[in-house]
Chains A and B, each alone.
Chain A
């Protein structure tokens, strides 16, 4: 037998550690307070990312041969994921009420985290599928945690789409693996472009990843799940978990396969459409839920163009979106006018960063992304600043009107500090990583043309926000296109009718008739004497067979 492993065990430890933390609630005595350890779960991953995600690991005996290696851009993705999960874990530890439900939340939180980290470390398709399944399905528990009717309905939509996505993904991966005759992701990607059923495989992958990444029109779950999930759950869902779909697109879509154009078109639709649709929402979390759809749309455009700035942009977006969602929680917990004002200021600054106002981190992310893009898309990216400002401005307006459920002062401070950390990182980290992520000099973002391109869309956007506040937009249900689906009642009735017909249907009737005919001949009265009957049937059968076979043939 070959060695159990080859390479470094560090990547495995990064993934196993959250799973071990996830076992804490299994111990009954620790269950009620298990959420308190959540901030610890992502720490090894953070260290690993800061060290540059070194090392590869091959475990030949595990599953179908597990291969762990950092994917392109893994350091940025891992750092962002670990940071968002750490701070969101901190928020959860402070706010979630202790009890058995918190234990369930804690366990599946860690499983989701392990899956979320795993997609950035998977080197083979089966490991990737496992990680993706973990992050997708376990996140259901984060959505339904409150157990309200709304949360459960959101959970139903979420799990339906997640299972569909898993199935689509499996089809794509199997087609790729069969064509490549190998399970490594790089071989599968190469094989997919000209495999016999490669186009179907790619379509399935785009659907599977698109659901997770909130690609229009598969984004339905985001605006429904976010308002229903507890605040830390929304933060990781929109900040980190959607990136699992993104990295899937990056890893599996071969260059120049024709699907890039699809991504660009759908990305642009999402990028602008979702932001505008967000204006029809009243719940700030629902407004905010349309922002990741819009930002992920822009990221998909970048994936479609093969831009190198995807991971860098995703880093900023993840941190900023995490900060904004946590901000909602912090504002709800605020007791005084002062506290509310502080939260709104922080959220406002982060929102401006996402919109690309220089010199915040978001402006750098946009600049790095624009590098090498065709002029049309550069313009689109600049213009997206207007819609982003608009939707996030509207979010702030709605946020300011949110009713508070004040928490004690020390608790609020803890929550605020977490939000501040993510906000500060979102603003500053892109500066620190600029030279690593882009080939451009450090003073490039400060050139006047770039400053101007950052400023005017934001100013225009703010003007639009004022316009929107003046003429209130219509309020619509979250989940936009869900309204196009048939109502539950319209489906259930015919379904039950069909099932009833099936149950009473022809097959069952004929079967019963045939059986009755078979059994009518003689029913044994003494139950344990089947032999004569069995013998008789066999004998008769054998006679009939003999007669048939006796003929020359």
Chain B
């Protein structure tokens, strides 16, 4: 059973993916049942495992791919943090996507690749070795492309091209790094840190840089972030799940794995590469916010905000002090909840009211109160107002920065807070305070679109409000840091 569980979790999205491709376009019921069923099964399995792993259990499965190449799936606390997020949000996004697309064209293709993406994300989280990590990382890259291009119009196709243009060199860099490292150390398993003594520091720094370039493209580190705002041509559910959660988080998760399980925090410190990475993350945080300020399209602004916020995770990992680490890991969840809420809402505004530009948001609060309340909660969380989730991450990151002897982090956090306020508060002001345009339309009689947003917004509030309880994401992140990276 211990070996079967990780495989089962992977299959719970892989099987729906495989079957969905062969369904006819108009077999809506079957397709929806299959996708929702897979999501529910996965969620159940993960909840079961959460309790077991909290009690100290661990699960592992290895599948030989080729001689010397073993795909290792392993459930540890860090992997669970990521897959519980992606499974929950996948479930909600599936509901949202079913309602969003209705009976539009090419749905079997969409949902097939959608499930494939989630399978890739799951596999990535469960990977116990570098090579399995790489396989799923690539699967994610390639299965995302059709989703971005889904509308098949000119902007979508060009966005998809931009995505590949960024992603493929990133993958090449990652592969290079893996081959370079493993040629000296042999296969790298995340449970046993590799013996790095065979490589001189210069080479190690080079490998580290290649790793960061490889995963940094997905994590949208400046200057590798250009694809993310361009990808906003994709349909709303894609932006919600992939650009708020799966893809960018895969990159951030990769950074965490590379720092803690491939190199080890002490080696990163000894090589002196942690601080440059932290500075790069800080630059990304500030630059993403500055660019967000200049956007007049809602989704573009959200995209640049994602660029900025995902680097909180990278910053936490790079600072490598326990509190910063907790702050970074917990932001993996917190940012996911807040940003998916905002993308859901942006999609609702677009779909139900045809609103895409910030200037068109005027007076939408009265017209679409549930959506607007959720959007406001997400925005206030991003600014870092207590008791929302964003405050908790920010507080821990700040304490962690001081703990790591990097007080400049406070400056970055303050700049980020002020910039977030500067680009989100005017939106809220428009939503609630300015009169609606004469020809404004729109309603929220679409429960399957609104309820997922309400659920994630409530969760973003709940995880902040109950942060100190042991079952919160913060509690789980603390457990990870104490158990796996603790002194």
User: Of residues 374 to 404 in B, which have CB atoms within 8 Å of A's CB atoms?
Assistant: 384-387, 392, 394-395, 398-399, 402-403
B157 within 8 A of A: yes
User: Of residues 115 to 149 in B, which have CB atoms within 8 Å of A's CB atoms?
Assistant: 142, 145-146, 149
Q: Are A62 and B226 in contact (CB under 8 A)?
A: no
Q: Which residues of B contact A163 (CB under 8 A)?
A: 417-418, 421, 425
CB distance from B260 to the nearest CB of A (A): 22
CB distance from A130 to the nearest CB of B (A): 4
B interface: dominant SS: helix
Q: Which residues of B contact A130 (CB under 8 A)?
A: 386-387
A129 within 8 A of B: yes
Q: Which residues of A contact B183 (CB under 8 A)?
A: 549
B58 within 8 A of A: no
A266 within 8 A of B: no
Q: Which residues of B contact A137 (CB under 8 A)?
A: 385
The CA-CA distance from A549 to B210 in the complex, in Å, is: 13
Q: Are A167 and B417 in contact (CB under 8 A)?
A: yes
Q: Are B470 and A1 in contact (CB under 8 A)?
A: yes
B-side interface residues toward A, CB under 8 Å? 109, 142, 145-146, 149, 152, 157, 160-162, 164-165, 168-169, 171-172, 175-176, 179-180, 183, 203, 223, 226, 294, 366, 384-387, 392, 394-395, 398-399, 402-403, 407, 410, 413-414, 417-418, 421, 425, 432-433, 464-470
CB distance from B84 to the nearest CB of A (A): 19
Closest residue to B398 on the A side, CB-wise? Answer: A174
Q: Which of A61, A104, A144, A159 contacts B466 (CB 8 A)?
A: A61
Closest residue to A166 on the B side, CB-wise? Answer: B417
The CA-CA distance from A523 to B145 in the complex, in Å, is: 15
- Residues of A within 8 A of B (CB-CB), count: 56
Q: Which of A62, A104, A519, A548 contacts B468 (CB 8 A)?
A: A62
Q: Are A534 and B162 in contact (CB under 8 A)?
A: no
The CA-CA distance from A333 to B466 in the complex, in Å, is: 47
Given contacts A129-B386, A518-B165, contact A175 B149 (CB under 8 A): no
Q: Are A133 and B399 in contact (CB under 8 A)?
A: no
Q: Which residues of B contact A166 (CB under 8 A)?
A: 417
* Binary contact track A113-155/B, C-beta < 8 Å → 1, others 0: 0000000000000100110010001000000100100000000
A197 within 8 A of B: yes
Q: Are B414 and A177 in contact (CB under 8 A)?
A: no
Given contacts A170-B417, A197-B407, A527-B157, contact A175 B469 (CB under 8 A): no
Q: Which residues of A contact B467 (CB under 8 A)?
A: 63-64
Q: Which residues of B contact A164 (CB under 8 A)?
A: 418
Q: Which residues of A contact B366 (CB under 8 A)?
A: 100
Q: Are A537 and B172 in contact (CB under 8 A)?
A: yes
CB distance from B359 to the nearest CB of A (A): 16
User: Of residues 499 to 538 in A, which have CB atoms within 8 Å of B's CB atoms?
Assistant: 499, 502-503, 507, 511, 515, 518-519, 523, 527-528, 530-531, 533-534, 537-538
Q: Are B466 and A62 in contact (CB under 8 A)?
A: yes
Closest residue to B474 on the A side, CB-wise? Answer: A64
Q: Which of A167, A499, A537, A538 contacts B414 (CB 8 A)?
A: A167
* Binary contact track A225-265/B, C-beta < 8 Å → 1, others 0: 00000000000000000000000000000000000000000
Closest residue to B386 on the A side, CB-wise? Answer: A130
Q: Are B421 and A170 in contact (CB under 8 A)?
A: no
CB distance from A119 to the nearest CB of B (A): 13
Q: Which of B165, B175, B402, B414 contacts A545 (CB 8 A)?
A: B175
Q: Which residues of B contact A549 (CB under 8 A)?
A: 176, 179-180, 183
Q: Are A63 and B387 in contact (CB under 8 A)?
A: yes
A406 within 8 A of B: no
CB distance from A506 to the nearest CB of B (A): 12
CB distance from A539 to the nearest CB of B (A): 10
The CA-CA distance from A537 to B138 in the complex, in Å, is: 13
User: Of residues 76 to 110 in A, which have CB atoms within 8 Å of B's CB atoms?
Assistant: 100, 104
Given contacts A527-B149, A538-B168, A549-B183, contact A507 B223 (CB under 8 A): yes
The CA-CA distance from A133 to B385 in the complex, in Å, is: 7
The CA-CA distance from A104 to B429 in the complex, in Å, is: 13
The CA-CA distance from A123 to B146 in the complex, in Å, is: 53
Given contacts A133-B386, A530-B142, contact A170 B414 (CB under 8 A): yes
The CA-CA distance from A518 to B398 in the complex, in Å, is: 40
Q: Are B402 and A503 in contact (CB under 8 A)?
A: no
Q: Which residues of A contact B399 (CB under 8 A)?
A: 174, 177-178
A60 within 8 A of B: yes
Q: When A and B form their complex, which 10 residue pairs have the shortest distance between CB atoms, in order from nearest?
A: A541-B172, A61-B469, A178-B402, A174-B398, A130-B386, A545-B176, A537-B168, A167-B414, A163-B421, A178-B399
A404 within 8 A of B: no
A171 within 8 A of B: yes
Q: Are B164 and A64 in contact (CB under 8 A)?
A: no
Closest residue to B365 on the A side, CB-wise? Answer: A104
Q: Which residues of A contact B160 (CB under 8 A)?
A: 527
Q: Are A541 and B175 in contact (CB under 8 A)?
A: yes
Q: Which of B164, B172, B387, B433 contacts A530 (CB 8 A)?
A: B164
Known A515-B165, A538-B171, A546-B179; further 18 A-B contacts with Cβ < 8 A: A1-B470, A61-B469, A62-B468, A63-B465, A100-B366, A130-B386, A130-B387, A159-B425, A174-B398, A174-B399, A179-B402, A197-B402, A197-B407, A515-B226, A530-B145, A534-B164, A541-B171, A549-B176
Given contacts A164-B418, A178-B403, contact A126 B466 (CB under 8 A): no
A440 within 8 A of B: no
The CA-CA distance from A530 to B141 in the complex, in Å, is: 11
Q: Which of A100, A147, A548 contacts B176 (CB 8 A)?
A: A548
Given contacts A133-B386, A170-B414, contact A545 B466 (CB under 8 A): no
Q: Are A64 and B392 in contact (CB under 8 A)?
A: yes
A553 within 8 A of B: yes
Q: Which residues of B contact A168 (CB under 8 A)?
A: 414
| 25 A-B residue pairings within 8 Å (CB atoms) | A60-B469, A61-B469, A62-B465, A62-B468, A63-B467, A65-B468, A100-B366, A133-B385, A163-B417, A163-B421, A167-B414, A167-B417, A168-B414, A171-B398, A175-B407, A175-B410, A178-B402, A179-B402, A197-B407, A527-B149, A527-B152, A531-B142, A538-B168, A538-B172, A549-B179
Q: Which residues of B contact A104 (CB under 8 A)?
A: 432
